[in-house]
Amino acid sequence: MSDQPGNSEPSAFGTLETHLRARRDSGAKLLIPYVTGGYPGWQRAVEAAAAAGADAIEIGIPFSDPVIDGPVIQQASTAALDEGATPASVLAQARELDTGVPHAAMTYYNICHHQGHERFAAALVEAGVSGAILPDLPYVEAGSWLDAAAESGIEAILLAAPTTPEHRLAKLCGASRGFVYAVGLLGVTGERAALARTAIEIAARCRAVTDRPVLTGVGIGSPSQAVEACEVSDGVIIGSAVVRTLMSDGPEAVGELVASYRTALDRG
């Protein structure tokens, strides 16, 4: 199987990457919250997160058999599915958002495969989504999706795991669009008591081989851990903490939580 499934570099940056590069180059540490689409109040949570200083928003399209989602996001996804959420309904609601920052969708490859690459990418574009994350689609098998996404103008974001070998990492980072998602640890999403050593290591490895923004996600459980991760990475993705807050305290509390991360990152 080929280890070069896509063009190594884009001819121009897309909306998401342009925005993140500009923020990074201005000296800001990047902050992307994740919100489970379809969960009651999710649109208000997205708007609150953007108003609180998020640089982009990751919108989860619930799937019944997740691979990387931990218990908090699984609970939210199950609730959303029980409420009748579908990929089409989540994207229709995403189309109504006007946050002033780019949006990226996160879901699983089965949904993309079922619709067909071109149709799925077109649906994202119609919903005003700039990027897409398919965490269970390996880089070495992603060639046709990367091509279809690029053709539609969708920035296909790839994940770099702590186990990604050196000979593949530079190619993966080169093929990613928008940013490189540095997976902080081997395991599912969720808040941890301390930042994993692997979170620092994988971000450093990625930054050594690419100028594309590198954001660390999975396992970041507090503003102080976000600051620690950003000693190496360009920014962080916060998922479980945001979703837990949405479920327990509501959409407005999500804005307060994101503001606490924004303040911590700005202070350094």
C-beta separation of 85 from 107 below 8 A? no
Torsion of CA 252, 253, 254, 258, to 10 degrees: 110
Q: What are the φ/ψ torsions at residue 238 (nearest 5 degrees)? A: -115, 115
Active-site option among 69, 155, 228, 234: 69
Q: DSSP state, 139?
A: G
Q: Which of 17, 55, 58, 234 is catalytic?
A: 58
Q: In sequence order, which residues have a C-beta less than 8 Å from that of residue 119 and are 6 or more positions away? A: none
Residue 249 falls in the annotated catalytic set: no
Residue 31 to residue 193: CA distance in whole angstroms? 20
Say whether 69 is catalytic: yes
Rounded CA gap, 85 and 245, in Å?
20
Cα torsion 80, 82, 88, 89: sign: negative
Residues labelled catalytic: 58, 69
